[in-house]
Amino acid sequence: MAGRPDVSPIHGRASADFLRQLEGYGLSTIEVHYFLPDHPRLLQLFAFQQYDVAPRFPVLRDFLDYWTREIEGPLHSVRIAHNHLIGPQEWRAVDGIISIH
């Protein structure tokens, strides 16, 4: 990229999500259960996906800090599912013969 020495040619073409995955981020699916402020006996579910680093989850921790500071609905529980999308591929040996002409 001419005029931008801080950006390598590969960074100019790769998406930001792909670059984060190369840095060790994986896709996290988060379910936040919280009590409704006006109806404290009712639970509400907020679900979303984001890229984060397991097992510390710094992005999620920042979000939950923001939630407790700025949002009136008290947290009940948080569920996390996480998957590294880029990593070694799984393979297994298969017994058999494959005939090719």
More confident position, 64 or 85? 64
**Peptide linkage before 55 cis (omega within 30 of 0):** yes
Q: What pLDDT digit, counting tens, does each position of 23-55 carry? A: 989 999 999 999 999 999 999 999 999 999 999
pLDDT at 8 over 60: no
More confident position, 6 or 80? 80
Mean pLDDT along residues 2-24: 71
Predicted TM-score (pTM) of the model is 0.71
DSSP notation for 35-101: E-SS-TT-EEEEEEEEEE-TTT-HHHHHHHHHHHHH-SS-EEEEEEEEE-SSSPPP-----S-----
